[in-house]
Chains A and B, each alone.
Chain A
Amino acid sequence: MVNLWRAIRFTVVFAILLGALYPLAVSGIGNLLFPYQAKGSMVQLNGQTVGSKLIAQQVTAPGLFHPRPSAVDYAANGSGGSNLGPTNPALVKEVQQNLQVVEKQDPGTPPSKIPPDMVESSASGLDPDISVQDALIQIPRIAKATGLSQAYLKSIVNGNAQGPALGIWGNTVVNVMQLNVAIEQRLRK
C-alpha cells in the first residue's frame, strides 16, 4: 500500500515536472533564442504569411516550382505517405499518373531521366524540398509562363541549393518555398 501511495505521489509530482515545467522551459528558451524557428519557420511575402518554409504546399501554377507528389494532398494538418507496397498495382497507377503530369507539363524528358523523387510520393506528404534535377526539369515551363530567363531561374536554383550537412550527410536539395518566393519577388519588381 505504501508503494502504491508513493507511485501516486510520484505521478503527480513528475507529471507537473515533465508535463508542464520541462515543456515550458523548452518553449520559453526556444522562443527567446530562436523565435522564427520556434513558430514553425513561417514565410512572409509582402506582409502576408504565405506558408512555412518547411512545409510543402499545393502549387499547380505553371509559373512556379512544383513540390514532390503528396499522398495527402499537402494537408499540413494530416501528414502521411501513400503506404503503398512495392507490388501493389495501386503504386504503379499512382506513379504512372504522376509521370503523366510531368510529361504533360514538362515535356521532353524521357522517363529514365526523370528522378524517381519527382514522380513518387514523399513520406510526410509535405516534403518541402526537391532534388536539383527535378528543379532543372521544371525550368523551361516556368521560363515560358513567367518570361523570366532560363539562366536566371538556373541561378536561383543553384543559389538556393543546400548541399549535404557538414559536407557529409544527406542530399543536395532545393527548398521549393524559397524558389517560389524568389520568383514572386522578382516578378513584382
Chain B
Amino acid sequence: MTFEGIMQILSVIAIIFAIGIPLGGYMYRVYTGRRSWLEPVFVPTERFFYRLVGVNPAAQMDWRAYLKPILLVSFVVMMFAYAMWRLMGHLPLNPDGNKSMPPELAFNTAASFITTTNWQNYGGETGMTYLGQLAAIVVQFVAPALGMVAAVAFLRGLANDRSSNVGNFWVDFIKTFTRILIPICLVSAIVLVGLGVPDTFLGAAKVHTLQGAVQTISRGPVAAQVPIMQLGNNGGGWFNANLSHPLADPTALTDVIELVLMGVGPTAFLVMFGHFIRSRKWTAIFYVFIGGMLVAGTMVIYASESAGNPILHHVLGVTGPNMEGKEVRFGIPLSSLFVAVTAGTDTGAVNAMHDSLTPLGGLVPMANMMLMVVLGGEGVGLLSIIMFLIITVFLSGLMVGRTPEIFGKKIESREIKLAVLAMLSSPVTLLIPTAIAVMTKTGVSSMENPGLHGFSEVLYAFTSMTFNNGSAFGGLGGNTPFFNLVGGVVMLLGRYISMIAMLAIAGSLAMKPRIPVSAGTLKTDTFTFGWIWVAVVVIVGALTFFPALAIGPIAEQIQMVSGHLSQ
C-alpha cells in the first residue's frame, strides 16, 4: 500500500459521493414534476411516448396500481429478450455468425438481465449476435428504470400524509428514460469512444499480426452499452472479460469514468431520499456510514492484494502484489476499488478477475453484497437501506420501550412483518441452493478450483445472483441446466420479493397520518442512531452468513498464509 494508491481510491470515492448531490437534486426535481431548462424538448417528446404507449399522464395510482405495470413490463420485456436470444442466430446483424441460445441459457440470461443481475453464462464474443447485444442494451435500460421508479413510489409513500397516491408509474417510468438515463448515457458513450472504446457495426477484424499469425479481434457497438451497464448497475458486458477487456475499458481514465457511472446512481438516490423527507441530515448520516463502510472494505482488498500471494513467494521467489487476473493499466488501487464498488452497488461489472483475488480480497465483495446496504443498486439499494432502518427502529423501540416511529410515521406490525420478509428472503435463496450445489455431483463438477476455493466459487455465485449483482468467481462453469434454472429462479426471487414487500410497506405508510415530534419521540436522525443502524446491519449479516464465509474465504486465507496448496 502506498500513499498515492490510497489517494487514488479516496479521490474516486469522493467524486462519486460529490456528483450524487447535484444529480440527486436533479432527479428529485424530475420526479416531483419541476420544470427544467430543456422543458421545450422534453414535454413534446414525453407526450409523444405517452400517446404511443397509450397512457393517461394525469392518472393517480395507489401502490397496487403502481406495482402491476412494474410486474407486467418486467414480464413482457423478459419474454422479448428470451425470444430474441432464442432466435438471434437466424436474424440479421450477425456478422460473426454466432448461434442462438438454447432454452435454459436464454431463460437464465433473460431472468438475469430483467433483474439487473447480468449474470452471464455465455461469453459475449461468441455467445451473442449484434442484434442479441442490442436486445441486451434494451433490457439494461428498462430493468434499472423499474427499480428506480419503485424506489420513487416508496419515497412518495413516506412523504404522504393520509393519501394512497404514490404517483403515476408510466409518467415516472418514461421520464426516467428521457430525462435521466438516455441523456447521461449518450454523452458518456461519446466520451468513451473518444477515449478508445469502439463503436462499430463492422464485424470482427481479421488481422495478420506482426509475426504473421491471424488474429480475430471481436468488436461492435461497445460504447453504446458500457454507460448503461454501469449507470443502471447492470454489469453485463460486451466481452467475456467484461470491463477488464481493453476495448471496453482502455485506460485508467476510462476506468475512473466507469467507476463513477457505477456509483452515482445509488448516491443520487440517497440525496433524493433526503429531499423527499425534507431532511438533509439523513443523507449526511447515510453518506458518512455507507461511505465509511465502502472505504473500509476497499482498504482491506487493497492491503490484501498489495501483499500478494505468499505461496508464490515461498515456492518461486516471486514477490510483489497479486497481479494474476489484473490489468497493468489499472494497477492494484483501482482494481481493488472496482471490486468493492461493483459488489456494493450490485453492478457486477469487473475490471479484474475476482476468482484470482486473494481470499480476503474475495471476501470483501461477498460481504458488500450480503450486507445489502453498501450503496446497493440504483433505487433498490435505497429500499434495502430503509428496510434495515425500519428493523433498527423496531429493535431500538423495543429496547427503550417506545412506540417505533420513523419520518413521523408509526411503524406497526404489518410494516415489520413485510420488512422481515424482505430481509429473510435473501438468506433462503442464497444458502439453500449453495447447500444443494455442494451436495450434488452436478454442482461440484462445475467448480474449477479445488478445495475451499471451489466452495467459495459456488457461495459467490448464489450471493451474486440473490443480490442481483452478476459478478462471478468466473472459473465456475455456470452454463449447466442446474445453474441456469436454479440461478434464474434465485435472481427473480431476489429482486421481486423484496421489491413487492417494500412497495406494500410504502402503501401502508402512505395512508398513515404524520405525527408531530414530541418529547416521547425516539429521535432517529442522529449519528448515534446511525451507529445502531450499522450494528444491526452487521450483526444480521454476520449471524446469517458468517458460517458460510468461514468455510470459504476465511479458511482459505488461513490456508494461504500457512503456505498450503489445495489438493
Contacts and interface: CB of A to CB of B under 8 A. Distances in A.
Most chain-B CB neighbours within 10 Å: which of A86, A128, A165, A170? A86
Contact of B126 (A23, A42, A77, A112): A77
Kindly name the residue among A68, A85, A166 whose own CB sees the greatest number of chain B CB atoms within 10 A: A85
B217 A85 contact: no
Interface string B555-567: 0100110001111
B358 A39 contact: no
Contacts of A151: none
A67 to B, nearest CB: 10
B205 A42 contact: yes
A126 to B, nearest CB: 6
Contacts of B321: 116
How many of chain A's residues touch chain B, expressed as a range? 35 or more
A124 B244 contact: yes
Contact of B211 (A61, A80, A170): A61
B76 A8 contact: yes
Interface stretch (B245-253, B405-413, B530-538): B245-253
A11 B311 contact: no
Contacts of A83: 325, 353, 355-356, 448-449, 473-475
Interface string A26-41: 1101110110011111
Contacts of A171: 252, 328-331
Interface in A72-110: 74-89, 91-92, 95-96, 99, 110
Interface in B35-63: 49, 52-55
Interface in B470-510: 473-475
A14 B138 contact: yes
A64 B210 contact: yes
B194 interface: yes
Contact of A123 (B201, B247, B326): B326
- Chain B interface size band reads 35 or more
Given A124-B244, A165-B252, A165-B256, A30 B199 contact: yes
A161 to B, nearest CB: 12
Interface string A164-177: 11101111010000
B320 to A, nearest CB: 4
Interface in A1-57: 3-11, 13-15, 17-20, 22-23, 25-27, 29-31, 33-34, 37-42, 45, 48-52, 54-57
B189 A14 contact: no
B459 interface: no
A52 B255 CA distance: 19
A88 B123 contact: no
Given A57-B215, A79-B239, A124-B241, A95 B69 contact: no
B550 interface: no
B207 A23 contact: no
B195 interface: yes
B289 interface: no
Interface stretch (B6-14, B341-349, B517-525): B6-14
Contacts of B185: 22
A180 B251 CA distance: 20
A6 B55 contact: yes
Contacts of B475: 83-85
Interface stretch (B99-107, B218-226, B435-443): B218-226
* Listed residue (A92, A99, A122, A184) with the most chain B CB atoms within 10 angstroms of its CB: A122
B256 to A, nearest CB: 5
Contacts of A80: 123, 240-241, 353, 474
A19 B196 contact: no
B208 interface: yes
Given A23-B221, A112-B317, A165-B251, A86 B358 contact: yes
A59 interface: yes
Nearest to A74: B215
Contacts of B256: 165, 169
Contacts of B53: 6, 9-10, 13
Interface in B411-427: none
Interface of A: 3-11, 13-15, 17-20, 22-23, 25-27, 29-31, 33-34, 37-42, 45, 48-52, 54-61, 64, 68, 74-89, 91-92, 95-96, 99, 110-112, 114-117, 119-131, 162, 164-166, 168-171, 173, 180-181, 184
30 contacts: A11-B73, A13-B53, A22-B185, A23-B137, A37-B194, A38-B199, A40-B200, A52-B205, A54-B246, A55-B217, A55-B247, A59-B209, A60-B211, A80-B123, A85-B556, A86-B356, A86-B358, A87-B559, A89-B565, A91-B309, A91-B324, A110-B317, A124-B241, A128-B246, A162-B251, A166-B253, A168-B7, A168-B11, A170-B253, A170-B255
Interface of B: 7-8, 11-12, 49, 52-55, 68-69, 72-73, 75-77, 80, 96, 123, 125-126, 134-135, 137-138, 141-142, 170, 177, 182, 185-186, 189-190, 193-202, 204-205, 207-211, 213, 215-219, 221, 223-224, 239-241, 244-247, 250-253, 255-256, 308-309, 311-312, 315-331, 334, 350-353, 355-359, 448-453, 456, 473-475, 556, 559-560, 564-567
Nearest first, the 7 closest Cβ-Cβ pairs linking A and B are A170-B252, A83-B475, A123-B244, A85-B453, A30-B193, A111-B317, A79-B241
